[in-house]
Structure 1
Amino acid sequence: MPASDFPEPLRQRLDEGLDALGLDRALAVPLLDYLALLLRWNRTYNLTAIRDPDEMVTRHLLDSLAMHPYLRPGALADLGTGPGLPGIPLAIALPQVHVTLVESNGKKARFLREAVRQLRLGNARVAESRAEALDEPGAYAQVTARALDTLAGIIAVGGHLLAPGGRLLAMKGIHPASEIAALPAGWAALALHPLAVPGLEAERHLVEVGRAA
């Protein structure tokens, strides 16, 4: 459906969610454009198991944007981004962040390139690659991953991408105490932030991981 055809209750839910996250309601226009494109492609390419637009607003858009206060300006690699989560919502909301959408699945990478083109995201690019094969060592101030692996697993495939002083920003559900305890030597959890996702009852946490001093 065109973005303008979304029902008013859904648009209102997104507006209220943006308010709760401290973000400008003007972002609803490009976010709904992205959602409309994702719904259209999902009918053919099965990019995400979530198909209900109302649920997508909460579990895709607002869930991705909940981490925005912890991002710095500069380069961000979103590993295993799938259909662009959280990378595309973050690129829409934070033009000062330059997002590389890392995805090895060909059909998802094609969708990502079309989304970047249609949404005119000058601060986003697509890298059709496995994270461990991305030959850009030390190129990123921040790396994120939403549902890729354990913290140790993310470090194993993407730690080489972080610049000195860089941070992994890993989105997790419940407090990931066991994953933090299993971090490899030389890495440490530097901060743990509970996230409040508007409309979502489940727990969310953002773990900041960096090289140990």
Structure 2
Amino acid sequence: MAQNDFAARLSDAALKLGVQATPSQLQAMLAYIEQMQRWNRTYNLTAVRDASQMLVQHIFDSLAIFEPLRRALGNANVSLTPTIVDVGSGGGLPGVVLAAMAPSWQVHCVDAVEKKMAFVCQMSGVLRLPNLHAVHARIESLPAFNADIVVSRAFASLRDFAVLAGPHAAQGGRLLAMKGREPVAEIEALKQETDWRVERIESLAVPELDAQRCLVWMSRQGNP
């Protein structure tokens, strides 16, 4: 991996996203890419093989949601140590990036694939992130996390996300789905079949990524 090139690109991406990252936080994300490449050879953590593509499609994409989350948590009536649950986390996306960027957040990565959670558990130690937790389970089988935000990057439709993961959001908590194009049909199914509603859709401009990305914010009907 071209460490200097990647470091410059990551620093530039953080600047474009309005993210204030320390040198140690940037280094943690670069180390994460290195570890993912190493593990991917044996454990097939992600279909993305090229390190440069990992940097953009995984790190930049995950980093793009940090400021929106930080603002939302800052404006909400939440504790000083918010709980974030990353459902269908795979190799820890976006959970590892969020944990690296916000040491005060307790980030729980949940996935049904054991080898992927073994990797996230390893990352908690290697990257020195005591606030990062790996949970090997199906989300619907777990006791409620009472989370401030439950996030999903590539887990399911909005309707299935709400049904399976909605019980883990605290009263007043939110579901946050990372999507490509605005999922019009999924929004209608969510409205028809659950008590969750789309609160807003936030467009994202992910550096170096030539694709549409958006965040779908959801709240329970009746919540602000």
Match of 2:202 in 1: 193
Write the letter of the residue equivalent to 1:171: M
RMSD: 1.3
Secondary structure of the 1:199 match is coil
Q: Structure 1: 5+ residue runs without aligned partners? A: none
| Map 1:103-122 → 2, pairs under 5 A | 103-122=111-130
Match of 1:16 in 2: 12
Match of 2:103 in 1: 95
Write the letter of the residue equivalent to 1:174: R
C-alpha displacement of 1:46? 0.7
Match of 1:206 in 2: 215
C-alpha displacement of 1:60? 0.3
C-alpha displacement of 1:10? 2.3
Write the letter of the residue equivalent to 1:32: L
For residue 53 of structure 1, the aligned residue among 51, 54, 59 is 51
Match of 2:82 in 1: 74
CA deviation profile, 1:157-192 (whole Å, cap 9, x unmatched): 111101100100100000111111111332110111
Q: Kindly indicate whether the alpha-carbon contact (under 8 Å) linking 1:170 and 1:206 is maintained by their aligned counterparts in 2.
A: yes
Please give the alpha-carbon distance, in whole angstroms, between the structure 1 residues aligned to 2:173 and 2:145. Answer: 8
Write the letter of the residue equivalent to 1:63: D
C-alpha displacement of 1:117? 1.1
Q: Kindly indicate whether the alpha-carbon contact (under 8 Å) linking 1:189 and 1:207 is maintained by their aligned counterparts in 2.
A: yes
Please give the alpha-carbon distance, in whole angstroms, between the structure 2 residues aligned to 1:138 and 1:146. Answer: 18
Secondary structure of the 1:190 match is strand
Q: Kindly indicate whether the alpha-carbon contact (under 8 Å) linking 1:62 and 1:197 is maintained by their aligned counterparts in 2.
A: yes
C-alpha displacement of 1:8? 2.5
Please give the alpha-carbon distance, in whole angstroms, between the structure 2 residues aligned to 1:14 and 1:25. Answer: 12
CA deviation profile, 1:111-147 (whole Å, cap 9, x unmatched): 1111111111111111111011111x25111100000
Q: Kindly indicate whether the alpha-carbon contact (under 8 Å) linking 1:19 and 1:25 is maintained by their aligned counterparts in 2.
A: no
| Map 1:132-171 → 2, pairs under 5 A | 132-135=140-143, 137=144, 139-171=146-178
Please give the alpha-carbon distance, in whole angstroms, between the structure 1 residues aligned to 2:203 and 2:104. Answer: 24
Please give the alpha-carbon distance, in whole angstroms, between the structure 1 residues aligned to 2:195 and 2:156. Answer: 19
Give the stretch that moved more between structures: 141-150 or 91-100: 91-100
Write the letter of the residue equivalent to 2:8: Q
Secondary structure of the 1:210 match is strand
C-alpha displacement of 1:97? 1.7
Percent sequence identity is 38
Write the letter of the residue equivalent to 2:174: R
Q: Structure 2: 5+ residue runs without aligned partners? A: 74-80
C-alpha displacement of 1:94? 1.6
Residues 1:83 and 2:91 aligned together: yes
C-alpha displacement of 1:96? 2.4
Write the letter of the residue equivalent to 1:172: K
Q: Kindly indicate whether the alpha-carbon contact (under 8 Å) linking 2:159 and 2:194 is maintained by their aligned counterparts in 1.
A: no
